[in-house]
C-alpha cells in the first residue's frame, strides 16, 4: 500500500511541475516576467516565480518534501501557504490567465484579503 501511495505522490509532483512549466510559458506570452526551473530530468521538483506588478512577486516551490506558495511585495513576505492551500492559491493565479484579468485588479484583491 505505501509503495503505491509513494508512486502516486511522485506522479502528482511530476504533473504539478509540468503544469507550472506551462503556466510560466503562458504568463511570459502575456507579458509577465515568469520562470519555472526544474532540477534534473525526473521532474520531481520545481521553482516557479512570477512578477505580477512592480515589487509584487509570487514564488511557488514544489518537491517531494512539500509545496509552498510565498507572496512578497516590496521585499516583504505578505503570506506563505503550504500544501493544499498553496495549490488553491496557484489556481487563483491560473484564473488570472484563464479569464485575462489585469494583474493590478486581481493582486490588489488578493493582497487585501490576506494581509
Compute the Cα dihedral for 26, 40, 47, 49 and give only its sign: negative
pLDDT digits (tens, 9 = 90+) for 50-66: 998 889 999 999 998 89
pLDDT(39) > 90? no
Least confident of 19-23, 49-53, 111-115: 111-115
Q: Are 52 and 58 in contact (CB under 8 A)?
A: yes
pTM for the model stands at: 0.82
- Residue 39 gets which letter from DSSP? S
Amino acid at each position: 500500500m505505501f509503495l503505491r501511495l509513494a508512486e502516486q505522490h511522485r506522479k502528482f509532483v511530476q504533473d504539478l511541475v509540468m503544469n507550472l512549466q506551462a503556466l510560466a510559458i503562458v504568463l511570459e506570452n502575456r507579458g509577465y516576467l515568469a520562470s519555472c526551473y526544474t532540477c534534473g530530468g525526473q521532474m520531481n521538483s520545481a521553482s516557479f516565480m512570477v512578477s505580477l506588478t512592480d515589487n509584487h512577486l509570487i514564488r511557488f516551490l514544489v518537491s517531494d518534501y512539500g509545496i509552498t506558495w510565498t507572496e512578497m511585495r516590496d521585499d516583504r513576505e505578505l503570506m506563505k501557504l503550504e500544501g493544499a492551500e498553496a495549490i488553491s492559491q496557484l489556481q487563483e493565479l491560473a484564473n488570472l490567465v484563464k479569464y485575462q484579468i489585469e494583474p493590478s485588479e486581481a493582486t490588489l484583491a488578493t493582497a487585501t484579503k490576506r494581509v
